[in-house]
Structure 1
Amino acid sequence: MKIKSIKAYHVVQPFVDGPYRMSKGRVADCFDAVIVAITSDGGVTGWGEMAPLGNFYSAAFPAGTRAGVPEIAPHLIGQDPRGFAGIGRLMDTVFKGHPYVKSALDMACWDLAARAADVPLVTMLGGRESDMAETYRVVTHGTLDQMAALARRIIAEGCRRLQVKVGGNVHDDIERVTTVAAAVPKGTVIFCDANAGWTPYQARQFADATRGIDYTFEQPCTTLDENMSVRRMLDKPMVLDESVTSLGEMLEIHRRGAADGLTLKISRLGGVTQTRLIRDVAVDLGFMITVEDTGGAEIDTAAMAHLSLSTPAERRLHAIAFHEWVTVRTARNAPPVTGSHMGIPDGPGLGIDVDPGLLGEPFFEIA
């Protein structure tokens, strides 16, 4: 099997609920996605998607993806898409760094290979561990009344896991989390995610003032040293997200005992290949795992679902249904969401039926 053609599409995906707000005044109105289609000489097409959350969240930005994919794609023509490690080495050779640019291309190769083998992608990722993954939803920055109302609405819609955005003014964040916790039923799972928005001093202030609330601390500070200084005094579980940028960084987190859980972002790690590798090693090292991404619609959510459901259930934290965040569709079907759980679409590969007519004209193609 050889790669015969590659197309890339630019799809803007506005948010259903309006602007997405996080610490330090960072705001995004949409996911700005690049979707890639890779077709083999046998006529099978695989799909991949990458969508940064603005220019501020990761070391990635939408225009960079659109510029980078055409630089890499010509080198992949004629390659075997099933040789994931070799494809990865080739992309790293011809285009140094910028793993987010390579993510959609890598994802499309996995989808293509699974479709050609007529098996769901989850089978190639280690096998299906359960039928559904529990999902969480986000309570973004807002007034106390807005955040409490959103939390109550999420709970009323059947979700039992909340990620509350903090990382701003510490005293305001203490009020935010206290108000949200009081607005939801006892037993609701709460993650307080600062998105690396605090100094260690601020994170310790927050942790000390909220000892009476049951939550998991997520990425309070930027560097591993800063997070480790908070970890030493913390009496709650800690999850790291932005700190997990490679296998080496994950191993350093483990060596230092800096976290109980990890959030693995597919695009930050460069695609499905590296995400699966890091996930498998992290599971063996005893971490709790969330697999998600920086954004996207049906394609990226499907990849997240397959990676989540091939993670052992006892090591899986939760998942997220990004395709429900946006107002546009990219496929005729989607990962099924029932209440607070998400599954995998039926069918080979990612299992979704991508509709090119929903994507517009490609901004790049090569054969």
Structure 2
Amino acid sequence: MKIKSIKAYHVVQPFVDGPYRMSKGRVADCFDAVIVAITSDSGVTGWGEMAPLGNFYSAAFSAGARAGVPEIAPHLIGQDPRGFAGIGRLMDTVFKGHPYIKSALDMACWDLAARAADVPLVTMLGGRESDMAETYRVVTHGTLDQMAALAKRIISEGCRRLQVKVGGNVHDDIERVTTVAAAVPKGTVIFCDANAGWTPYQARQFADATRGIDYTFEQPCTTLDENMSVRRMLDKPMVLDESVTSLGEMLEIHRRGAADGLTLKISRLGGVTQTRLIRDVAVDLGFMITVEDTGGAEIDTAAMAHLSLSTPAERRLHAIAFHEWVTVRTARNAPPVTGSHMGVADGPGLGIDVDPDLLGEPFFEIG
């Protein structure tokens, strides 16, 4: 089997609930997605997607992806899409760095290979560990009343896991989390995610003032050294997200005992191949794992769901249904969400039926 053609689409995906707000005044109105279709000489097509959250969240730039895919794609024509490691080495050879640009191409190869084998992607990723993964939802920055009302609404809709955005003015964040925790039932799982927005001094202030609240700390500071300085005094679990950029970084986190859990972002790591590798090693090392991405609709959410459900249930933290965040559709079906749980759609590969008519005209095509 050989790659015969590649198409790339640009799809802007506005948020259902309006602007997404994070620490330090960072705000985004949409996911700005690049979607890739790779077709083999046997006529099977696989799909991939990457979508950064603005230009501030991760080392990914949507215009860079649109420029980079045409640079890499010609080198993939004639290659066997099932040779994931070889495809990865080839992309790294012809285009140094910028893993986010390669992510959708790598994802499309996995989808194509699974569809050609007539098996769900989860089977190729190690096998299904459970039928559904529990999901979480995000309480973004806002006034105390807005955040409490949003948290109550989320709980009323059946979700029991909240990620509360912090990382701004530390005294305001203490009030935010205290207010949200008081607004939801006891036993609600809370993650306080600073998105690397604090100094160690601020993170320690927050941790000391909120000792009476049950939550997990997520990425309080930017560097591993800074997070370690917080970790040493912390009496709560810590998860690192932005710090996990490669297998080497994950191993360094383990060596230093810097975290109890990891959040793996597919596009940050360069695609499904590296995400699966890092996930499997991290599981063996004893980490709790969340697999997600920086954003996207049905395609990217499907990949996240397959990676989540092939993660051992006892090592899985939770998942997120990004396709529910946006106002546009890219497929005729989606990963099924029932209450606070998400599964994978029936069918081979990602299991979803992508509709090219929903994507507009490709901005790039070769083959």
Structure 1 length-normalised TM: 1.00
Cα distance in 1, alignment partners of residues 24 and 243 from structure 2: 18
Deviation, 1:307, is 0.0
Please state how far the C-alpha of 1:242 moved relative to its aligned partner: 0.0
How much does 1:208 deviate? 0.1
Residue 359 of structure 1: how far off its partner (Å): 0.1
Between the aligned partners of 1:162 and 1:59, the Cα distance in structure 2 is 25
Structure 1 Cα separation of the partners of residues 186 and 217 of structure 2: 18
Per the TM alignment, residue 272 of structure 1 is displaced from its structure 2 partner at its CA by 0.0
Cα distance in 2 for partners of 1:338, 1:351 equals 17
Distance 1:189 1:319 in 2: 13
Q: Deviations over 1:259-291 (max 9, x none)?
A: 000000000000000000000000000000000
| 1:2-81 → structure 2 map (5 Å cutoff) | 2-81=2-81
Gaps of 5+ in 1: none
* Structure 1 residues 71-126: Cα deviation after superposition (integer angstroms, max 9, x where no partner): 00000000000000000000000000000000000000000000000000000000
Partner of 2:202, secondary structure, is helix
SS in 2 for 1:317: coil
Number of matched pairs: 367
Q: Counterparts of 1:261 and 1:66 in 2: how far apart (Å)?
A: 32
Distance in 1, Cα, partners of 2:168 & 2:228: 20
1:138-171 per-residue CA deviation (whole Å, 9 max, x = no partner) reads 0000000000000000000000000000000000
Which whole-Å deviations, capped at 9, do the CAs of 1:200-236 have from their partners, x for residues lacking one? 0000000000000000000000000000000000000
Q: Distance in 1 between matches of 2:5 and 2:24?
A: 42
Unaligned runs of 5+ in 2: none
In structure 2, distance between residues paired with 1:201 and 1:295: 30
Q: CA deviation at 1:53?
A: 0.4
2:146 alignment partner, SS class: helix
In the TM superposition, what is the alpha-carbon distance from 1:326 to its structure 2 partner? Answer: 0.0
Distance of 1:58 and 1:323 partners within structure 2: 19
Give the CA deviation at 1:258. Answer: 0.1
- CA distance in 2: counterparts of 1:144 and 1:65, whole angstroms: 37
Q: Distance in 2 between matches of 1:31 and 1:52?
A: 6
- Take 1:60 and 1:268, find their aligned partners in 2: how far apart are those partners? 8
TM-fit CA distance, 1:187: 0.1
2:212 is paired with a residue whose SS is coil
TM-fit CA distance, 1:127: 0.1
Q: Aligned partners of 2:54, 2:66: CA distance in 1, in Å?
A: 14
SS at match of 1:80: coil
Name the CA distance, whole Å, in 2 between partners of 1:160 and 1:167: 22
SS in 2 for 1:221: coil
The runs of at least 4 consecutive aligned structure 1 residues that moved more than 2 Å come to none
Name the structure 2 match of 1:314.
Answer: 314
Q: Which SS does the other structure have where 1:187 is aligned?
A: coil
Q: Deviations over 1:48-83 (max 9, x none)?
A: 000000000001111000000000000000000000
Q: Distance in 1 between matches of 2:323 and 2:140?
A: 17
Pairing 1:133–2:166 present = no
Cα offsets for 1:227-265 (capped at 9, x unmatched): 000000000000000000000000000000000000000
The percentage of counterpart residues that share the same residue type is 97
CA apart distance, 1:194: 0.0
1:239 aligns with 2:239: yes
Deviation per CA, 1:20-62, whole angstroms, max 9, x where unpaired?
A: 0001100000000000000000000000000000000001111
- State the alpha-carbon separation in 1 of the partners of residues 232 and 211 from structure 2: 15
Q: Distance in 2 between matches of 1:76 and 1:183?
A: 52
Taking only aligned residues, the RMSD between alpha carbons, in angstroms, comes to 0.2
Find the aligned partners of 2:213 and 2:361 in 1 and give their Cα distance: 50
Cα deviation for residue 189 of structure 1 reads: 0.0
Q: 3-state SS of the aligned residue for 2:155? A: helix
Whole-angstrom distance in 1 between the partners of 2:195 and 2:55: 14
